[in-house]
Amino acid sequence: MSEILRPVVRPRRLRTSAAIRDLVAETTLRPRQLVLPAFVREGATEPTPISTMPGVVQHSRDSLRRAATEAAEAGVRGIMLFGVPVTKDPLGTGATDPEGILNLAIADVVAEVGDALVVMGDLCLDEFTDHGHCGVLDEQGRVDNDATLQRYADMAVVQAEAGVHLVGPSGMMDGQVAVVRDALDEAGHLDVGILAYSAKYASAFYGPFREAVDSALTGDRRTYQQDGRNARESVREVLLDIDEGADIVMVKPALAYLDVLRRIADVAGEAGVPVAAYNISGEYAMVEAAAANGWIDREAAILETLTSIHRAGADVILTYWATEAAGLLD
C-alpha cells in the first residue's frame, strides 16, 4: 500500500469553530455602516405596503418618525428620505416647496431623532415630475442638463433649510456636485454635506422602486445614467465629483457592480473620501421572493449580501434591510 500523502498547509484549521472563524474574519459588518432608505407619502394617514418590495412601505409622516426612531435604536446611523407627492408637474416644483412632503419629512425626522441619525435627502426631480425624469425637459423632450442644475441648487438649499445633514444628488447631471456645493455655501449651509450618486447605472434592478415612488416615467434614463457595460467611466465620474466637493461618493446598484465598487473604493481611498453603495429595490426583491418560496435562508442571504458589498469596498451601505440587519448583526 502506498503511503498516504498528508498536506503540510491546512487552511481548514482556521475554519474549525465559530470562535476561530470570528477571530480571523477579514470583513466585519456593523450596524453603524447602514443607512435606511425610506419613502414618505403626502397625505397618508397610515403606511401603504409596496407590493414589489415585501416589508417596505410608503410611510405616513407619523410612521416615518417611528421608523426613524426604531432605526436609531437598532444602531443604524443614517436614513435617506424620498418623497411621494400627490401632485406632479413638468418642473417638479414640489421638490423646492418648503411645505412639500420631502422637506416636511426631513424636518420631522430631524426633530424626532436629532443627530442620532444622519438625515439624508434624495436630491432628484424624478419623484416630483409628471414625466418621471430626473430633470427638466427641453422642447424636444430631452433632459436639459444645465436647466436641471438650477433646480438641483434650489432643491439643495430648501432641504438644508429643513435641517438635512447630507443631500444626495442622484440625477447624474454633469456638474451637479459643484452647483449644489456652491448653492449650499452661498446660502450659508457650509456644514451640509454631499453624498454624491457618482456612479449610477441605468439598471433593470430599479423596477420595484418605480412603484415605491409612484413613478410616471416614460422612456428610459440611458442618456444620463451610466451604461452597464462600462467601468472606466465610473472612475472618471467619481474623480470629477471629488474635485467638485463631494464628501462621500456612491455606486448604485451594488450587487451587479461589485467590480466597479472595488475600483471606486481604491480610487476614493487614495483621495481620503468614503464610499457608499446602494443595495437597491430589485436586489432586495430578489432575495425576498426567493425566501418567500422557501428557496433560500432569508436571514443568511441578507447578511451575506450586505457583507459582500462591504467586502467589495463600501464603507456605507444603503439597504432596505438596515434596521432588521442591525438586529441580526447585534
Confidence at residue 298, expressed as pLDDT on a 0 to 100 scale: 98
pLDDT the model gives residue 133:
87
Per-residue pLDDT at 292: 97
3-state secondary structure of 263: helix
Sign of CA dihedral 26, 324, 34, 129: positive
User: For the chain, what percent of residues have pLDDT higher than 70?
Assistant: 98
Per the model's pLDDT, the better-predicted residue between 110 and 207 turns out to be 110
Asked if residues 226 and 237 have their Cβ atoms less than 8 Å apart, the reply is yes
Please compute the mean of the pLDDT values over residues 208-212 and round it to a whole number.
79
Of residues 37 and 209, more confidence is placed in: 37
Active site residue 200: yes
Kindly list the distances between the CA atom of residue 310 and the CA atoms of 51, 78, 318, in Å, as whole numbers in the listed order. 28, 16, 11
Compute the average pLDDT of residues 291-304. 98
Torsion on CA atoms 144, 147, 151, 156, rounded to nearest 10: 100
**Structural domains in the chain plus CATH codes:** 29-329 (3.20.20.70)
In this prediction the pTM is: 0.95
pLDDT at 185 over 60: yes
Residue in 41, 133, 200, 221 annotated catalytic: 200
Instruction: For residue 88, indicate whether it is catalytic.
Output: no
**Helical ranges in 75-138 per DSSP H:** 101-113
Helix (H, G, I), strand (E, B) or coil at 176: helix
Give the pLDDT score at 75. Answer: 97
Is the confidence at residue 1, as pLDDT, over 90?
no
Determine which one of 252, 254, 258, 267 is catalytic: 252
For residue 18, give every residue at least 6 positions away whose Cβ sits within 8 Å of its Cβ, in sequence order, or none.
Answer: none
| Confidence label for 248 from pLDDT (cuts 50, 70 and 90) | very high
Dihedrals phi, psi of 75, to nearest 5 degrees: 100, 0
Reported as a single tens digit per residue, the pLDDT across 263-288 is 999 999 999 999 999 999 999 999 99
90 prior amide bond cis, ω within 30: no
Exposure string of 96-128, with b = 16+ CB inside 10 Å and e = fewer, is: bbeebbbbbbbbbbbebbeeebbbbbbbbbbbb
Q: Find the mean pLDDT for residues 213-223.
A: 76
Please count the CA atoms within 13 angstroms of the CA of 126 that sit on its side-chain side.
25
Q: Is the dihedral of CA 40, 44, 46, 47 positive or negative?
A: negative
